[in-house]
Chain A
Amino acid sequence: MDQVILSMKNIHKKFPGVYALSGVDFELKQGEVHALLGENGAGKSTLIKILAGIYTADEGEIYLKGERIRINGVQQSQALGISVIHQELCLAPNMTVADNIFLGKEIVNKAGFVNFHKQNKAAQELLKSLGLAIDATAIVSQLSVAQQQLVEIAKALSFAARIIVMDEPTASLTLREVELLFATINNLKRKNIAVIYISHRMEELFRVADRVSVLRDGKYIGTRVTTATTREELIAMMVGRELKDLYKRTFHPLGKTVLEVRNLSRRKMLNGISFTLKKGEILGISGLVGSGRTELARAIFGIDRYDSGEILVAGKKVEITSPVHALDQGIILIPEDRKRQGLVLVNSVSYNLTLAVLKQFIRMIGVNKRLEKHLVDTYIDQLSIKTPSHEQLINNLSGGNQQKVVIAKWLATSPRVLILDEPTRGVDVGAKAELYAIINMLAEQGVGIIMISSELPEIIGMSDRVLVMHNGRIAGSLIRGELNQEKIMHLATGGVKDAS
């Protein structure tokens, strides 16, 4: 267990204009889970890409089992037993699990045809050895995201991987699926495989990692044994300062009801949802993925049609059958997946920021450039978006800044009701604090806010009231004083609220 399998020493990597890594050290022992922690842009991905053979280091040495190696190219990295599981899964969706595991190294008979029987059997054994109850002949697209991720792990093992890198593996998993992943990681440890684990979620690191190494601005800050450190210490190492109060919430008496939802139902996804939202209120919506949280948001915003029920805005009944209607009513949804639903990545900051409010500066014909610039400047300033210029491609900004542009884009419509779906997903701690401050500011301005989140500390820290969803219903409602993780989880997993 204590044998060092990989060590990277004094790694340097420069890109035009950016010193991505300057003198980073990293050491990995056999059978350990070693977390890599750092804000976006700290150099985690660059380090991993060097290991995966996508980039080559400008300077520095890499040792595998004490032997100096050079990694040139992805294939060589795999041959050395290094396997990277990226955030975006790389499986062929319409093929079976076994086909995917043996993709590119199919088991063939003498005539050169694939021996599916043998292949399925071998795949099933591999899955079993990981303790996974996944059918090797199942079609990948019919598996959940979590199961697909586990298939990726099995695939990595089939390459005789000795080091597995997981990049934000829990980003899109439900709590139950996370448990399954953790159990699998423990199985990997037992097989003496070393895991490099990248995640922003602090709670997870303490559960799954043996050691944590922190990077900041391309520099190596230090390594801690997880049992001998604290959340606060790690955050301080990450951001270079103490982050005392992440959730800055100022509470005020609430205003009038701005949104009321009565008995909203949609097929099997939503079942008789009723609630009210007041001016200046932050209403948290918690629940497992698939509990109907996102579906509720989509129905209110008019992306999906609801079958029955009523929506009232400021006391008046409204018909919302498309986002156009919702925007007219001052209801906006900041979607959960900013790259897929929030941004046109191939276009500029300015273009994206103004897409929902073009009518403010474009008449029938003619763009008022000055007004457009003024609008963009206002929000860049107000949300302190870091971008070299208005015309910068949005894809080149960091995750936190992209998310701010997404928020600015919809804020510019001057909403009455703001629905946030996973507002801080994939955003580093520093940017999170800024986003919370923005959300709080909006509540102070009297916007009614619905915040959907999988991160319980965030829900608890920010909400006036929390609705917990389960199986398309509201399982319970908790007010600020009675919020804690256990109560929310109890309701989210199908428990009932105590009468007390």
Chain B
Amino acid sequence: MQAKVDNNSFLINKSVLAVPVKYLKRNAGILIGLSAMCVMLTFLSPSFLTSGNILNVLRQVSTNANIALGMTLVILTGGIDLSVGSTMALAGTMSAGFIALSGLPVWLAISLGLFVGIMVGLFNGFVITKTGMPPFIVTMAMTSMARGLVYVYTNGLPVRTLDPIYNKVGNGYLGPIPLPVIYTTVLYISVMILLYQTKLGRHIYAVGGNREAARFSGINIARVEMVVYTLIGFLSAVSGIVLCARMYSGQPTIGQGYELDAIAAVILGGTSFTGGVGTIGGTIIGVLVIGFLNNGLNILGVSSFWQLIIKGVIILLAVYIDILKKKSRKD
């Protein structure tokens, strides 16, 4: 019954249009919302629809985008990671510190910063899989521990560095496109390949969709979870390092509340909070919605206090509409 292996047909997709059409259909609601928002902002503010502003938004958005990418994987497995903001701060500040305080070369400082993020993620994954404690609790504890570590390392003060190469990592451009946007694009493509073109990708969906069934199918659940928590640690570190590089300094207070924006983007993008259902394409839209919303409200001069309230309301509405949609499909 073993099917014959055909060597030449890997990565070949017959219908080129099938995928985008499916994508549009699946995300119709939120896409309409995003478009409506953009049209409205264009009319309300002449500075909104300029290539300068759009690229600026994309650069701002890239911080959240990286974290939301990792969060998508974690939520797909039925988990959650609250420690992303602290991980950002820890990795970013330490990379700046390695340059300013220890005098390490930039490439090494950044690599070590990424390594710190990976270790945080590994630790989360290890504790979650070995002790069976819920991810919510484990990563909440890590939120506090990692933040504490940053303060211990910096004594609570920013670490300034004027190293031009380091700063270029955060502020540089490739042609007209900001470098952070390039990093994010590369990361998205890589993770999409991981999720849609490998066994591990399907295992991620199985662990969140039905843990028991995954176990009976011979899937190593602990390994899958280790990978996703390590990945989100790495992705948070990327955001942290890029953000610090852009600000010429390691800021120990950055990243507070970032887990909320990331989770909001994932949920707005249609990923099920219970796991097993969701796409990275959806998350991209979710990230853009949050990003344009922040930018639009800023352009319109809405106070940041009101912005928080508006964001909360929009998240509630979007998820509620999603629930209504699911209900009508069932009946």
Cα distance, A314 to B196, chains bound together (Å): 38
A363 within 8 A of B: yes
What are the residues of chain B within 8 A of A369 when measuring CB–CB? 9, 12-14
Cα distance, A378 to B205, chains bound together (Å): 24
Which residues, 1 to 55 on B, are CB-close (under 8 Å) to A? Answer: 1-6, 9-14
Closest to A414 in B: B1
Which residues, 345 to 372 on A, are CB-close (under 8 Å) to B? Answer: 345-347, 351, 355-356, 358-371
Asked if residues A359 and B212 are in contact (CB atoms below 8 Å), the reply is no
Closest to B212 in A: A341
Chain B interface residue bracket vs A: 35 or more
Asked if residues B216 and A362 are in contact (CB atoms below 8 Å), the reply is no
Asked if residues B3 and A375 are in contact (CB atoms below 8 Å), the reply is yes
Asked if residues B215 and A344 are in contact (CB atoms below 8 Å), the reply is no
Cα distance, A327 to B12, chains bound together (Å): 30
Nearest chain B CB to A378 CB, angstrom units: 7
With known contacts A323-B215, A367-B197, A409-B217, A351–B6 Cβ distance under 8 A: no
What are the residues of chain B within 8 A of A478 when measuring CB–CB? none
Asked if residues A412 and B10 are in contact (CB atoms below 8 Å), the reply is no
Asked if residues B6 and A370 are in contact (CB atoms below 8 Å), the reply is yes
Cα distance, A264 to B71, chains bound together (Å): 44
With known contacts A326-B218, A345-B210, A346-B272, A371–B12 Cβ distance under 8 A: no
**Which of B1, B3, B11, B217 has a CB less than 8 Å from the CB of A356?**
B217
With known contacts A347-B209, A371-B6, A374-B3, A366–B11 Cβ distance under 8 A: yes
What are the residues of chain A within 8 A of B14 when measuring CB–CB? 369
What are the residues of chain A within 8 A of B219 when measuring CB–CB? 355
Closest to A412 in B: B1
Nearest chain A CB to B193 CB, angstrom units: 6
What are the residues of chain B within 8 A of A356 when measuring CB–CB? 217-218
Nearest chain B CB to A198 CB, angstrom units: 22
Nearest chain A CB to B69 CB, angstrom units: 18
What are the residues of chain A within 8 A of B4 when measuring CB–CB? 371
**Which of A362, A371, A411 has a CB less than 8 Å from the CB of B1?**
A411
A324 within 8 A of B: yes
Chain A interface residue bracket vs B: 35 or more
**Which of B198, B205, B220, B276 has a CB less than 8 Å from the CB of A362?**
B198
Cα distance, A303 to B211, chains bound together (Å): 13
Closest to A327 in B: B218
B224 within 8 A of A: no
Asked if residues B216 and A335 are in contact (CB atoms below 8 Å), the reply is yes
Asked if residues B216 and A368 are in contact (CB atoms below 8 Å), the reply is no
A333 within 8 A of B: yes
Mask: chain B, 195-209; 1 = CB below 8 Å from A; 0 = not: 011110011011001
Closest to B14 in A: A369
Cα distance, A407 to B242, chains bound together (Å): 50
**Which of A303, A333, A342, A362 has a CB less than 8 Å from the CB of B199?**
A362
Which residues, 392 to 427 on A, are CB-close (under 8 Å) to B? Answer: 409, 411-412, 414
Cα distance, A499 to B12, chains bound together (Å): 67
Asked if residues A347 and B205 are in contact (CB atoms below 8 Å), the reply is yes
Asked if residues B199 and A359 are in contact (CB atoms below 8 Å), the reply is yes
Asked if residues B1 and A378 are in contact (CB atoms below 8 Å), the reply is yes
With known contacts A344-B209, A344-B210, A370–B216 Cβ distance under 8 A: no
What are the residues of chain A within 8 A of B316 when measuring CB–CB? none
Cα distance, A356 to B217, chains bound together (Å): 5
* A residues neighboring B (CB under 8 Å): 301, 303, 322-324, 326-327, 333, 335, 340-347, 351, 355-356, 358-371, 374-375, 378, 409, 411-412, 414
Closest 6 CB pairs of A and B: A344-B209, A366-B10, A327-B218, A323-B218, A358-B199, A344-B210
A-B contact pairs, 14 of them (CB 8 A): A301-B216, A303-B215, A323-B218, A340-B210, A341-B213, A344-B206, A345-B210, A346-B272, A355-B219, A356-B217, A358-B203, A360-B2, A369-B12, A371-B6
Q: Contacts A360-B2, A367-B196 known; list 20 others, CB within 8 Å.
A: A327-B218, A341-B212, A344-B206, A346-B272, A347-B205, A355-B206, A356-B217, A356-B218, A362-B197, A362-B198, A366-B11, A367-B10, A367-B11, A369-B9, A369-B13, A374-B3, A375-B3, A378-B1, A412-B1, A414-B2
* B residues neighboring A (CB under 8 Å): 1-6, 9-14, 193, 196-199, 202-203, 205-206, 209-210, 212-220, 272, 276-277
